[in-house]
Amino acid sequence: MASNHRKWLRWAAILLVALVAVAVLVIAAFPVAPFRERAEATLSERFGRPVTIGALDRTPAFSFTPTIRIRDIRIPQPGWAGTGDLARIGTLDMRIRAFGLLRGRLDPKDVTASGVRLNLVRQADGRTNWDDPNSAESGTGHPLRLDGLTIRDAVVDYRDAKQDRRFTIAVTSDAKGFVARGQGNVRGAPVRVEASGPAITAAATPWPFRARIDGAQLSMTARGQMDAPLDTERMTIAVTAQADSLKRIDAVIEAGLFGTQPVRLTANVRHDGPKWQVDDLRGRIGRSDFAGRLGVDKTSGRTVLDGDIHATRLDFDDLADDAGLAKAAALTRAIGPRVVPNTRVDIGKIDKTDGRIAFRIDRILSRGSASPIGSAKGVLTLDRQLLTIDPLRVGLPRGVVAGTVKVDQRGGRADPTVTLALDLTGGSIAALAGGSDVTGRVDARVRLTGVGETIRAAVGRSSGAIGIVARDGALPAKVAAMLGFDAGRALTAGDDDRARLRCAVARLDMNGGRGRFAPLIVDTSASQTRGTGGIAFPAETIAATLTGAPKHGSLLRIPGSATASGTLSAPKVVVPPETKSVGNILKGLGRAITGRQGPTASDADCAALSRQAIGR
């Protein structure tokens, strides 16, 4: 029995060795031609349209590392991308390890392609003709680890309607190195493009490379290294860029940037899969300088930003291109200057970006005049279309504005809801007015909520309150007399005579962009003026009636009232004809002679009025 058992074991071992030998021979000599139809079906399913292969064979007939040769590959364009082919490849040779097929992997090691024509298309809505229609993921695959890549007679034509760019590039790769060279245009600007690196081999890790876009309106260079050849998902690069606008650079990097004055910048960049880290960012836009860092993380399917930006000086006009500046100038000519800025705050298209950006501006410039703003700093947070700037601190030549700004466009709203909660402390009349013979400390409070795509439009539909208090100052005695409708003292006061400004208090109760004075009072040591009416936004038109009284006996008090009109940028005060008529002047003279000129004004309770207007 033992002898029979050993005999069966010996035969089993012989049979097993024979089966292994047969399997090895099959693997080393397997035919590939029968797999052509299956390969066509697999690729057709991948691209969603019929893919054809002219021939499929292998060489040599017996090898554990055969070369699979595929001829006349044709991938048609999808119907929406036009006629013709997405790809045509004359010959594609791939040297593989046969044992990799046991694991279901093709695992090519050497690839040679010739007669390649690629026609890549992206629509304005972002749809591409090369993405897998059956997969929601892109750009997450592992790079090919090749022993060698040879490319002959390859041309790539790329058309992108979303970013308005097009390139035609010839590609070669051999033992001398990799070169891609061609030309095209970026938003109408002609450019030349080139990228190069050493020969693509398994030993070329990391893989150094250079890339350049060169043109009169756009010039960009990238010099660095990829973790493996052609592994754009993992690379470290030094970037320089120069363009007539940030928007043209954005056509390449697709970061959602806007039109600006001419820009130059440099940065060191690291890309690791879904994460980008931009360090040592330095640049100049127009006459504005900035530096900082920015992290971009797309791990969660959303874009998350984290950065710090420091501008040594900033001119807000630099953040618009010539077309934007011309449009703003035309608007100003059409409607006149406005105090409330027309800054666009619509974030409806920023629906997949969150993050935090801290910013600091040391000096704010203004073209043609002194800027009313000296510096600014704050933290901008974006969370699913809720943008918050908190804290926000704006330094003025005298005083500080601090508070919070919110822009809420959650829920698919057509226009955002803008909330302003800002306080001015320690300002001055002279600084805010750009020079004035009236002095005094100014404090203010803004609490507004409105809907609009710009700050101006939102204020024009807002509700809430605006309060402003000026106090502890001085003004010309002539002006103080006129505020009390004392024509006599206005005429006889000396040019250097001064009166004390006890307080000037205005509170606007806002409803739908229309503000009503509650109250409006100017109280001086010589007179007091009260006003009724209000201001309508966004036109900033003033409609108020002013009445005044002196605090002491007047030389010639004119009865009546004055009308305030115009805009905040160009106010007008008009005395009605009947007030300054000969009859009214004679009436004033008669009252002066008889001593019956009407009641005088008493000092206002400035502290109480201040609390009513600004809460302090």
Closest CA to 186 of 242, 108, 110: 242
Q: What is the pLDDT, as a whole number, of residue 219?
A: 97
- The segment with the largest mean pLDDT, out of 343-357, 394-408, 558-572, is 394-408
- Judged by average pLDDT, the poorest of 25-29, 197-201, 240-244, 480-484 is 25-29
**Banded pLDDT at 19 (limits 50, 70, 90):** very low
- Percent of the chain predicted with pLDDT > 70: 82
Q: What is the DSSP letter of 557?
A: B
Q: Residue 558: what pLDDT?
A: 64
Q: What contacts 217, CB < 8 A, 6 or more positions away?
A: 189, 243, 244, 248
pLDDT digits 0-9 by tens, 354-396 = 999 999 999 988 775 666 788 999 999 999 999 999 999 999 8
The number of beta carbons lying within 10 Å of the beta carbon of residue 590 is: 11
pLDDT at 91: 93
Q: State the pLDDT at residue 365.
A: 86
Which band of pLDDT confidence, cut at 50, 70 and 90, is reported for residue 417? Answer: very high
Which range is most confident: 38-42, 155-159, 249-253?
Answer: 155-159
The stretch 224-239 carries a mean pLDDT of 93
More confident of the two residues 593 and 480:
480
The mean per-residue pLDDT over the stretch 262-269 comes to 96
Burial class (CB in 10 A: 0-12, 13-18, 19+), 156: middle
Q: Is the pTM of this model over 0.85?
A: no
253: helix, coil or strand? Answer: helix
What does the pLDDT average to over 439-451? Answer: 95
Q: Specify the DSSP element, H or E, that contains 95.
A: strand 85-96
Average pLDDT over residues 485-501: 75
pLDDT band at 164, cuts 50/70/90? very high
pLDDT at 279: 96
Residue 589's pLDDT is 47
Residues found in the chain: 616
Residue 610 has pLDDT above 90, yes or no: yes
The answer, yes or no, to whether residue 26 has pLDDT greater than 70, is: no
pLDDT of 368: 59
Its sign, for the CA torsion 127, 128, 129, 134, is negative
Residue 61 has pLDDT above 70, yes or no: no
CA–CA distance, 610 with 616 (Å, rounded to integer):
6
Confidence of residue 410 (pLDDT cuts 50, 70, 90): very high
Is pLDDT at 443 greater than 70 in this prediction? yes
What pLDDT is attached to residue 371?
Answer: 67
User: Is residue 207's pLDDT more than 60?
Assistant: yes
pLDDT digits (tens, 9 = 90+) for 103-133: 545 567 888 999 999 999 999 988 898 875 5
Choose the most confident range, by mean pLDDT, from 28-37, 148-157, 430-439, 472-481: 148-157
> pLDDT tens across 304-341, in order?
999 999 999 999 889 888 888 888 888 778 877 788 98
Structure tokens at 231: 């592994």
Q: What is the pLDDT of residue 223?
A: 97
Exposure string (b/e) for 269-307, b if CB count within 10 Å is 16 or more?
bebeebebbbeebebbbbebbbbbbbbbbeeeeebbbeb
In the prediction, which pLDDT does 434 show?
Answer: 63
Task: Give me Rg for the CA atoms of the chain.
Answer: 38
> Does the pLDDT of residue 217 top 90, yes or no?
yes
The better pLDDT of the pair 255, 33 is held by 255
Q: Does residue 554 register a pLDDT over 60?
A: yes
SS3 171: strand
Query: What's the pLDDT score for residue 6?
Result: 53
Report which of residues 241 and 46 the model is more confident about: 241
C-alpha closest to that of 155 among 177, 180, 174, 176: 180
Question: What is the average per-residue pLDDT within 341-363?
Answer: 90
The Cα-based distances of 493 to 461, 476, 483, 489 in angstroms read 44, 9, 14, 6
Q: Residue 25: what pLDDT?
A: 45
Could you tell me the pLDDT band of residue 138, with boundaries at 50, 70 and 90? very low
Question: Across all residues in the chain, what is the average pLDDT?
Answer: 84
